[in-house]
Amino acid sequence: MQTREFHSEWITIGDHRILFKGRDGFPSETMRFMAQIGVETCEAAQAREARVVAVTYFRNHQTDAEQWVVTIASTRREDQFIASRINNALQTIFQRGDRHVALYVIAKPGDVHAEDYNHMRHLSAEAHVLDA
């Protein structure tokens, strides 16, 4: 059951720590499904540095239009193709244009040799999903 008080919730799928954000109710199975599609697409494409960092839901109450945004972050420019793959998968499954994949390619990798380095935290912070 959805509740209007929901704003955000963190979930983990494999190596992906994903923030669900929305104004109109608790995270739905659709959000979880979209996150799972993103994770599986990243893994199938062997995009080792790419991670799903957020799934966001927006709804315009005046027009009833919905928009879903799946945010992917990576430190490798070579991972840019992953956004179109996830976008194509979501469009094929849902057959509506209200799903969108945003890809943030972080040009500067974090200090992987630092004692407290966490790749997922670095990507989330650089994609402005998490305040570092």
Check if the beta carbon of residue 9 is closer than 8 Å to that of residue 20: yes
pLDDT given for residue 3 in this prediction: 46
pLDDT given for residue 40 in this prediction: 93
pLDDT given for residue 123 in this prediction: 80
- pLDDT (tens, 9 = 90+) of the chain, 132 residues, equals 444 555 788 889 998 999 898 876 667 788 899 899 999 999 898 887 888 998 888 777 777 777 788 888 888 888 888 888 888 888 888 776 666 666 666 656 777 777 777 777 888 887 778 754
DSSP 24: S
- Closest C-alpha among 99, 50, 48 to residue 72: 50
